[in-house]
Structure 1
């Protein structure tokens, strides 16, 4: 059509509409802080040779900093400000999504890319609480970093694969949750830790623009995706409106 070699666009004759896709997060997947801490603890008990213990900080990134898995595995020591006391900071500027090796230029399962929905040179500063700072400092003291500064790596200095950390996560769920919870959607995927983090921030009253900046969303996408996770916000909004109406 662009070369004007066809008289008409044949796709106009195709009678098909794309199926509706659910964009909102199911609030049932989000763990509360107590459940999240229990899951992180149980991760350290999974697998031989400290397999789970080596991955615990990776899951902590997803929960305390709301990082996507591809962002967490690509984080380097030089991207982390980890003070002895108080809040730290991550400077997220790279993502390592896992793809089929047939579709990468390098032939590796992880290809280095820019942040999702952002330009290649963009960065995203993420403040992190003292709890995560402590976990990361302990992880680095115990396991060091890769040659390129990567905080998370396999025993052979490779990139942590989704198959490996997902298997550990499923075993940790069985240890930390009740049988009914294991059968439920609660924290079914490691990615659900990110959903739990963003939901927690929103329900704690953190402004939507601030949450969107930390999580790497636009405000409109953030509110649309997490609309069902805003538990109790209507009552809070009603109170604020009522207070404002007082003469």
Structure 2
């Protein structure tokens, strides 16, 4: 109810949370109200505003104690507060690697929105605080946070602009442009930019559902979509002889007793001879395989164990436990195993046995083989298995390049793309766009054929 029955009293000192403060008291229609300010000047300013509204003839609300011109509005929802809410909504249902993507995307957007003003943390400090402590559950209010990270998080919380600012095209354009850059200012890879933008779009779809926007403001700014499928660099593709030499070189890594390399020979062989993804070879188990003494075998792949990180998985383990990539968890992919690979796997089983759950490849303690472990072994094997000029090249630089080499080999051998795609667990579209690359040195064969053809007409 509105009323002109207003009485304003003076300002008086008051202790609040152990600090000096000043309280202003007044009444509206006989109902008392008070507000406390940090300084006497601020309290007197509020008293003057109330008195001016009273002199202007404004009717005060006896529920809030204020005239219409001074109605206290709830603080605007900031981007940072919204991002934390979005994270809590998505986290329980997200796979570990997607949780990582969400944290990465929210961090990039938050950094781009933070104002350039005194006290702003350095980009690297803000990056670490947001990635490691703010945009991960449990959140910064539910666990101990290192002092340097707490300073950065508190600054972001206090200085974050309103979520509504993203409705301004200029602000949105600035954010999208920032997503194209890495921390060092260099251009980010197209896949990385697309992944971050996807998180932003999804977050603002949620904001739109909440009624914060009429339409998703991302779509108001023109966007040049990066190439959806990035072709494999043909320089990384090894020919069969090079791949064989590299896999043999793995067995020489580490001491004989620890067998750091010998334990993983079959794992790398599975990537090349069966075109398996590294996370698939980590999870392959004896009970899912048929390994005959002669001829081709088969591995019924249905489980992957990608390295995700303890802070992203529901179990707190380093590895996720999930189905095949981009497939329903119930899908099984029968993968043919050539006789040579069957022999390598059988030799590994005869030498090292299997893990408690039947996995073919495991570390000395029987645990899962981490990506950092097999990547280090592979880097050392390249030093043994390649001539110096190729060690310095991109050839088979990463374990995943063995899969690239396998699929390229099959295609160059004339295997039907549909069959290759089925064995590899890809679509034909992705296969032809990414993996139809020449083998290392294959161009020399093509050059010879062209040269022979031209000579026929001389």
TM-score (norm 2): 0.49
CA distance in 1, matches of 2:219, 2:419: 43
1:216-227 counterparts in 2 under 5 A?
216-227=425-436
Match of 2:18 in 1: none
Deviation at 1:141, TM superposition (A): 0.6
Moved more, 89-98 or 41-50: 41-50
Distance 1:88 1:12, change over 3 A: closer
* Contact residue 25 and residue 229 of structure 1 kept, 8 A: no
Deviation at 1:16, TM superposition (A): 5.1
> In the TM superposition, what whole-angstrom CA distance separates every residue of 1:65-88 from its partner, at most 9, and x where no partner exists?
110000000000011110000111
Aligned match for 2:319, one of 102, 110, 114 = 110
CA distance in 2, matches of 1:97, 1:199: 24
Q: Which has the larger radius of gyration?
A: 2
* Contact residue 26 and residue 229 of structure 1 kept, 8 A: no
Match of 2:424 in 1: 215
Distance 1:21 1:220, change over 3 A: closer
CA distance in 2, matches of 1:6, 1:186: 49
SS in 1 for 2:209: coil
Deviation at 1:188, TM superposition (A): 0.3
Over aligned residue pairs, what C-alpha RMSD do you find?
1.8
SS in 2 for 1:125: strand
Aligned match for 1:28, one of 228, 231, 235 = 235
* Contact residue 82 and residue 137 of structure 1 kept, 8 A: yes
Deviation at 1:137, TM superposition (A): 0.4
Pair 1:7-2:214 in alignment:
yes
Pair 1:175-2:391 in alignment:
no
CA distance in 2, matches of 1:143, 1:102: 31
> In the TM superposition, what whole-angstrom CA distance separates every residue of 1:11-60 from its partner, at most 9, and x where no partner exists?
24546545446611111111111111111111111112221111111100
Deviation at 1:2, TM superposition (A): 1.9
Pair 1:37-2:263 in alignment:
no
* Contact residue 288 and residue 300 of structure 2 kept, 8 A: yes
Deviation at 1:6, TM superposition (A): 2.6
1:68-217 counterparts in 2 under 5 A?
68-217=277-426
Aligned residues: 233
Bigger fraction of residues in strand:
2
CA distance in 1, matches of 2:229, 2:386: 27
CA distance in 1, matches of 2:214, 2:335: 52
Distance 1:118 1:21, change over 3 A: closer
CA distance in 2, matches of 1:53, 1:200: 25
Moved more, 26-35 or 200-209: 26-35
Bigger RCO of structures 1 and 2 (CA < 8 A, at least 6 apart): 1
CA distance in 1, matches of 2:385, 2:214: 63
Deviation at 1:158, TM superposition (A): 0.7
SS in 2 for 1:101: coil
CA distance in 2, matches of 1:16, 1:64: 41
CA distance in 2, matches of 1:41, 1:5: 59
* Contact residue 275 and residue 407 of structure 2 kept, 8 A: yes
Distance 1:162 1:5, change over 3 A: closer
Deviation at 1:9, TM superposition (A): 3.1
> In the TM superposition, what whole-angstrom CA distance separates every residue of 1:106-128 from its partner, at most 9, and x where no partner exists?
01111111101211100100111
Match of 2:57 in 1: none
Aligned match for 2:254, one of 29, 35, 47 = 47
CA distance in 1, matches of 2:216, 2:286: 52
